[in-house]
Amino acid sequence: MDWHGTATFDPEGLSWAQRDGDACVVCHKRWPRPRVHVGRLPDSSRVLACLECAEALLPAVSATVVGFPAR
Ligand SMILES: [Zn+2]
């Protein structure tokens, strides 16, 4: 799940839950838990998003996401 986490997010616009990786950085949902590592904060904390939001954030790499069983 650790793919292309190169984007840096500005923590100013994020809630504590988002900064903590507890909520999706895009839609703020805390359940289901965000599972996709989409970037980092300046202090190198991981930023997570749910799969749908990650695909919207990173359309170019969405085809390479692995680990989600399809059957
Ligand atoms: Zn989301």
Q: How many CA atoms lie within 13 A of 41 on its CB side?
A: 17
Distance 60 CA to ligand 1 centre (A): 17
pLDDT of 55 reads 85
pLDDT digits (tens, 9 = 90+) for 8-67: 889 999 999 999 999 999 999 999 999 999 889 999 899 999 999 988 886 655 455 555
Distance 59 CA to ligand 1 centre (A): 14
Q: Which residues surround ligand 1, an ion (CB under 5 A)?
A: 24, 26-27, 50, 53
Q: What is the rounded CA–CA span in Å between residue 39 and residue 48?
A: 7
Q: Torsion angle, CA of 16/41/2/57, rounded to 10 degrees?
A: 80
pLDDT digits (tens, 9 = 90+) for 48-62: 999 999 888 866 554
Distance 12 CA to ligand 1 centre (A): 18
Distance 9 CA to ligand 1 centre (A): 15
Structure letter (DSSP) for residue 59: T
